[in-house]
Structure formats: C-alpha cells, structure tokens
Structure 1
Amino acid sequence: MKLARFGRAYMRIGATNYSIPSSDVPISPLFTCGIVLTPFKGQQLPQACFRQEEGVRTCKTVGSKPSAPRPFDVIEGSRRLSVGPRWRGGPMALVVSHQSALEFWRRAPESVVAAALAELRQCGTPQLRVCDLQGGSKPSPVEAQEVANLFPCVFTGNLHVLVGTSAARVRRACIVSHVGAASYPPGSFVRIASGAWVASPELCFVQLSQKLSLARAVELGTELCGRYRKDSRQEKGMATAWPLATPESLACYGEQAKGIYGRKVALKACRYTVPSSRSPMETAAYMLFALPRTYGGRNTSVPQLNERIDIPAEVRPVTNSRYFEADLLWPQQRLIVEYDSKQEHVGSERIARDAVRKNVLTSMGYTVLTLTTRQLFDYGEFCRFARMLESHLGTAPSRGAKDFAPEQRALWETLVARSSLSSQRERAVRQGRSGVWPPSV
C-alpha cells in the first residue's frame, strides 16, 4: 500500500484515494478498511499497524508480528487493515439506526464519514437480516455507552438500535430498540467499529420517512443529497459537507427496500428530491417554488441547484472568475434566483461584487432575481416574490383554478416559520447540554 502526504492528509481505501484537509486531523476512531493517515512520502509498507499518540493516529512499519500492545484489530494482507477500536467489555454487536444513524451522518467528523462511505460503496453488506449482524442478543447500556464514547458529541439523545427479534427488544432509559425487517437490501449497513454498525444514508432515509410528512421527507432527502448537514453545534445551525447520497441512490434503494416501514413515503419523496443544495434555506426555497400545488408548492418546473455557469473568456477579466454557480437555475427560461441571506448586512465591496456578477449574467442573457431572508421569512413578501417568479416562468395559475393557498401557507410555515423557532431551540441546546450522553431522564 502506497502512502503519501503533500501538504494534506490522504487516505487510501481499496483502489480509491480520499484527500482530507490537514485540519481534519486528528480524526475519530473509525477504521473500516485499510484507512491510513501518514506523514510518509511514497513509502511502501508491506505490513502496518496503528498506534495512538496524543489523539493523532499515525502509522509505523512493523516486523512479522505487530508490536504489542495495540488498540486496534489489524488484518494483514489484502484484507481490511483495521476494523476499529477494541472494546473494553469484550465482543459486541450494535446496529445504530433511525435518528441516531442520522446524527452519525450529520455530526461525525468529515474524515470519518468519508471513510464510512468508501467502505459502504466498495464493500457494503450483502442482503442480510439484522440478526446476522447483531446475533440476536439484547443491546446493553454498556455497549451503547461504548459506541457513544467512540464518537463524542455525536449522539445527543437515546441511542436508536435495530434488533433481530421482538425478544431482543429492551426497555432502557438510554436505548430505543426497533425490530428489524425480515431482510435488508445490499448496502444497508456499514461497520463503524469492531462490533458496531450504522444504517446507511439510504436506509436511514427510509426508516425516518415512516414518521415524516412528504414535505419533511423531501427536505431530508435533499439534505442527504446536498452539500450541507444540519448541525446544532454550529453557529449557523449547519455545516458544509459533501453529499451522502444521490436522488438516484435513494430511489434505487427504496425500490429494493420491500418490507421496510417508510418505503412508500420515501419513494414518493424521491420524485422531488434534488442534489447540490448548499443550505436549509436553499432547500426550503426550492420546495416552496417547485413542489406541486397540492403539496403547497408553486408548481414551477424543477430548477437546478448551484449549477455551474461558465463565463465567456472576454468577460472573465471583469469578474476574476471562470464561472458562477447559480443558486436556483431554470436553464430553458434562462432565469436565476439567488438567495441572499446577508443583503441587510453587507458592505460596499460586497455590493459592488454582486452588481458585477448580476451585470455579467444579464449580458449573457440571464434574468436574475434576488430573494432575501426578509422576503423569505415574511409570508406576504414571499407571496409577492413567488407571483413575480411565476410570471417570468409562465406558470401562474389560470383564473378559476383551484385555490391552494391553505396548503401553500402550511408548507411555508413548516419549512420557514417553524425553522426559526427550531433555531432558537437549537441555540438553547448548544448553551445547555449539547453533546451530553447518555441523556438525562
């Protein structure tokens, strides 16, 4: 296995290289298939083991036998190099699912998530039953605490786990157990430590859709396929990240997920799930415009989110950029909606830059409309903006058409009005016991 680092930390997983910014090191203890972070340059390591030093994982060459003691199970050769940390309490088998799985994908370090996704896409799991992983044993609070300790500040509530049978369910203050389906499609689980598994983003989406409205399911699916994660620990309530799934992977998994609760809503939500959103408010704006009127939207054609628009060479000196990314783009109508969350608090430099951007796009034949936070959060102003957008797109409802104002108001309240209250609650949590596990009863 060749290892390299040139100003950044690199992972090699199977035949795939993943580049991780050096700021991501140290990383959380997840090693699922030959993940190496190393300062060596192009060095060939026939055998390797890991050691932990001041919270940073490095790699060292060993002889015919790994040096002892070592905190990780290492498998030599072409198989997995490491399957995670050893448990203090002996062999365990926990399958993290539902809300806890979503917390893992949202809040775990980006390097950990990248490693888990690489393992999932390359190895994954075949079609199986939960008891094939979990062994039919009852999960214990000690095991749940071990998993929580591996990923500090990730799990903030009761740990949701899958069990193979009804007899394996437990009633504990810190564990919520769910009886698994008869079988799960390939790629449903990924190992995050020795004896611990987590539901894949696709399975997590199906599981959570069971208790979500269609609007909330579309919102979750667009987040999983987007470039952000909701995270109450962050100042803005979100963090920038790479997509966990694609609309196609969600739909493909949903087709195979027969017998899993939530499949029907998940498949319906996949029809309206789009990739590349950069924030919850972009997702909300897209849904408010593009969902059918029966679901509270404005029934515009589906826009492309953060689509790249290349700038002609003769105009590039004006912008100092080779391309722009449009927040919401309707390419056939050459219409762009830019969501500007900072328009009320910008300086002259930002105003000048935005003016140049708008002038360049206008010269290229695009119409640019700006949606501000004030317009989005005031329902009257939002309706006026939506009518202007419908006029540009030619999708305004005809006279005498059924009025869907109640549904549109309800969707706006779900995605926008209540989100501000949610942010206040999240700030209160951050100031209180965020990241504490197990939760107080």
Structure 2
Amino acid sequence: MFTKDGYTTRLYSGQLPSKALTRIDKVDVVSPGLMFVQLAGKLDIHQAIILGTLLCSCPNGPRSEPLVTSKELQTFLDSMNKYYGLPNARTAIKYVNDRACSIMEVFVALFLSLPNHLGGLGLKGGYFNYKVELDPRGSAALGQGVCYIDYCFPDAKIACEYLGDEHKNTVDNDSVRNMALARMGYRVVTVTKSQLYHPEKLDQFLQQLAEMHGTKIRIRSKKYETAHRRICELLPRMSYPIDTIDAINQPQSSNFPSKKIVMSGRAQKPL
C-alpha cells in the first residue's frame, strides 16, 4: 500500500474471481461486486449496508431491474478470499435487501428491520416494493391491475408508504390506493420526510409499527442508541437535494438527538 498526492493505492496480488472486472469500451472496470468490497473497506457498517442496498435498488421504478441482486453480491463475496474490505462487506450483505426505489425507502427499512445492536427495531419479513395484485374494485378505481408497496410486511399485512415531495400532487390517487389496500386487509402506515428527521415524530412512527407487529418495545442492547443515532446522522441533508450517494458522504459524528427505545418479545398478532 502506498499514498501519493492524497490517493491511497492498495496492491492485490491474489487471484480475482472471474466476474471481478467487466469490460466497457475496451477498458476493464471493477464490477459492482468488487466495487462493493473495495468501498466497504472504507465505510462503517451502516454505510456499507446502504451502499449494498443502493447497488441492488431499482431507481427507475419497481418494474425495472436492479444493476445487481443481493444474491449475486453474496455469490461474488463467497468467491473471494482475503481481500481488503471483505469482512465488512460480508457483514453488511446480511442486511441488504433488493428493489428499493429511493434512498428514503432505504432508511425506513433501516429503522424498522435492522437488528437492535445496529439501531433498528429488528422487525422481520420486510420487502421493498412488494407487488400486490388488486381486487376488481381496486383495479377499476386505480386503472391498473397491480400496485407496489414501498416497504411491506406481507405476512403481517402491514404496508409502509413513504410520502415524498412528489406525493403532494398525487393525494387523490394515494387515497384511492390506500383504500384499495385496506379493503384487501392491509394496514397502511404513511411516513413523511419530516417524521424521519424529527426524533419525537420518528419515535411515534417506530412505536406504531412495533405495536402493529404485536411487539412491546424493550431494547436491551447497549449498542442500540449509538447505532440508532448513526442511522439518523446518515439521513440525506434536508438542505440539499436527496441523492442516492449522499448518505455515504455524511460525517462520522452528529448532534442529532435520539430517544431511547427498548424492545422485547416477538409475539405476532393473529392475522
């Protein structure tokens, strides 16, 4: 390893997996999998999870295909050995889910589904942009046969919908959509940007989701509060446009306040 002009170069003399490089315009560039490993060595665990989730996202909408899937990333990691960044990448991939369509959906999932020691509620069974086939009435009202739930717990029939700025112009459609989902047995919970940035509002949202899962909040992990605060630090800065890479460029410390939340029990309410 050597540093020159502010750039650090690491030499790797081992055998790279066959899919480590891809050729574009006659130039070999790193594949998404190798890039994930390389950057994971410079990121903390939360940043690495966010990076992996964004690599497996569908920024062009839920009907589009991701650049790479979490399964493909896992297969690539399994094919590597003793590479800088590999340990952090292997830890992060455990919490990477496919098919997020926005950075804010990613944060909703982090708060709800990461284990307690990483700052989340540890709610299991969540999926990004879960496809629901509407019943005839809902289909007729919306003019479409399916809809996609931003972050869904299908077994518990809980639908989390993030309302971004663009939803100001889709209030009517959102209302019809939520009614259609409710008629099919889904409990729809909406969350806005301000709820994610405001500690008390965020606490209320998390409490509501825990209660809907039939869970009493009693987190005993000493690492929870520090990890929860770290997720809050990584939220894209509201004074700038939200960009998918913004979360990775946040500082390592912040004065973002955090409320204590504790959780125990995993009893599910009957469906």
**TM-score, reference length from structure 1:** 0.51
- Give the partner amino acid of 1:423: Y
> Which residue, 184, 202, 208 being the options, matches 2:16?
184
Within 2, Cα distance between the matches of 1:421 and 1:370? 19
Alignment of 1:205 onto 2:36: yes
Alignment of 1:354 onto 2:185: no
- Name the residue aligned to 2:237: 420
- Name the residue aligned to 1:434: none
Asked if structure 2 preserves the Cα contact closer than 8 Å seen for 1:181 and 1:259, the reply is no
> Which residue, 125, 138, 146 being the options, matches 1:315?
138
Alignment of 1:363 onto 2:183: yes
> Which residue, 150, 174, 199 being the options, matches 1:327?
150
Within 2, Cα distance between the matches of 1:359 and 1:424? 31
- Name the residue aligned to 2:56: 225
- Name the residue aligned to 1:379: 199
Higher relative contact order (CA 8 A, sep 6+): 2
Provide closer, same or farther for how the CA distance between residues 375 and 425 of structure 1 changes in structure 2, counting only shifts above 3 A. Answer: closer
Alignment of 1:51-200 (within 5 A): 171=4, 177-194=9-26, 196-200=27-31
Provide closer, same or farther for how the CA distance between residues 301 and 314 of structure 1 changes in structure 2, counting only shifts above 3 A. Answer: same
User: Deviation at 1:314?
Assistant: 4.1
Asked if structure 2 preserves the Cα contact closer than 8 Å seen for 1:300 and 1:395, the reply is no
Within 1, Cα distance between the matches of 2:3 and 2:207? 53
Asked if structure 2 preserves the Cα contact closer than 8 Å seen for 1:181 and 1:260, the reply is no
Query: How many residues are treated as equivalent by the alignment?
Result: 240
Within 1, Cα distance between the matches of 2:139 and 2:238? 42
Within 2, Cα distance between the matches of 1:377 and 1:284? 11
Higher strand share: 1
- Name the residue aligned to 1:279: 102
User: Deviation at 1:359?
Assistant: 0.8
- Give the partner amino acid of 2:35: C
Asked if structure 2 preserves the Cα contact closer than 8 Å seen for 1:338 and 1:369, the reply is yes
Within 1, Cα distance between the matches of 2:176 and 2:89? 42
| Structure with the greater alpha carbon radius of gyration | 1
Provide closer, same or farther for how the CA distance between residues 242 and 178 of structure 1 changes in structure 2, counting only shifts above 3 A. Answer: farther
Q: What are the Cα deviations for residues 107-134 of structure 1, in whole angstroms up to 9, with x where unaligned?
A: xxxxxxxxxxxxxxxxxxxxxxxxxxxx
Within 2, Cα distance between the matches of 1:263 and 1:281? 27
Q: What are the Cα deviations for residues 157-180 of structure 1, in whole angstroms up to 9, with x where unaligned?
A: xxxxxxxxx7xx78467x754312
User: Deviation at 1:190?
Assistant: 1.0
Alignment of 1:216 onto 2:39: no
User: Deviation at 1:424?
Assistant: 6.7
User: Deviation at 1:279?
Assistant: 0.8
Provide closer, same or farther for how the CA distance between residues 286 and 425 of structure 1 changes in structure 2, counting only shifts above 3 A. Answer: closer
Within 2, Cα distance between the matches of 1:198 and 1:360? 46
Asked if structure 1 preserves the Cα contact closer than 8 Å seen for 2:125 and 2:155, the reply is no
- Name the residue aligned to 1:250: 73
Secondary structure of 2:136's counterpart equals: coil
Within 2, Cα distance between the matches of 1:380 and 1:359? 28
Provide closer, same or farther for how the CA distance between residues 185 and 422 of structure 1 changes in structure 2, counting only shifts above 3 A. Answer: farther
Within 2, Cα distance between the matches of 1:413 and 1:304? 24
Within 2, Cα distance between the matches of 1:337 and 1:425? 20
Within 1, Cα distance between the matches of 2:64 and 2:10? 29
Provide closer, same or farther for how the CA distance between residues 294 and 200 of structure 1 changes in structure 2, counting only shifts above 3 A. Answer: same
User: Deviation at 1:407?
Assistant: 2.7
User: Deviation at 1:383?
Assistant: 1.0
Identity %: 25
Within 1, Cα distance between the matches of 2:111 and 2:140? 37
- Name the residue aligned to 2:255: none
- Give the partner amino acid of 2:146: Y
Secondary structure of 2:215's counterpart equals: coil
Asked if structure 1 preserves the Cα contact closer than 8 Å seen for 2:70 and 2:97, the reply is yes
- Name the residue aligned to 2:227: 407
**TM-score, reference length from structure 2:** 0.80
Within 2, Cα distance between the matches of 1:283 and 1:311? 25
Secondary structure of 1:420's counterpart equals: coil
Secondary structure of 1:324's counterpart equals: strand
Provide closer, same or farther for how the CA distance between residues 315 and 422 of structure 1 changes in structure 2, counting only shifts above 3 A. Answer: closer
Q: What are the Cα deviations for residues 168-200 of structure 1, in whole angstroms up to 9, with x where unaligned?
A: x78467x75431241111111011233x21010
Provide closer, same or farther for how the CA distance between residues 215 and 181 of structure 1 changes in structure 2, counting only shifts above 3 A. Answer: farther
Provide closer, same or farther for how the CA distance between residues 422 and 249 of structure 1 changes in structure 2, counting only shifts above 3 A. Answer: farther
